[in-house]
């Protein structure tokens, strides 16, 4: 590990946080939309 390690950790953390946040937001919204669609079509 050299003096650039904090930049590396920041980059990987940012990538994981961005992709995980978007994925969770999308999957939750999709689950809600499926639920609403199934109740309104009944």
Q: Which residues form the interface with other proteins (CB under 8 A)?
A: 1-5, 7-8, 10-12, 14-16, 18-19, 22-23, 26-27, 29-30, 33-34, 36-37, 40-41
CB of 39 to other proteins, least distance (A): 10
CB of 33 to other proteins, least distance (A): 4
CA angle 33, 39, 40 (to 5 degrees): 85
Question: And the tokens for 17?
Answer: 């946080």
CB of 29 to other proteins, least distance (A): 6
Place of tokens 């992709």: 19
Question: And the tokens for 33?
Answer: 């939309």
């Amino acid at each position: 590990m050299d003096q650039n390690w904090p930049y590396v950790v920041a980059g990987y953390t940012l990538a994981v946080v961005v992709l995980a946040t978007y994925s969770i937001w999308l999957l939750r919204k999709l689950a809600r939309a499926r639920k609403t669609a199934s109740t309104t079509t009944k």
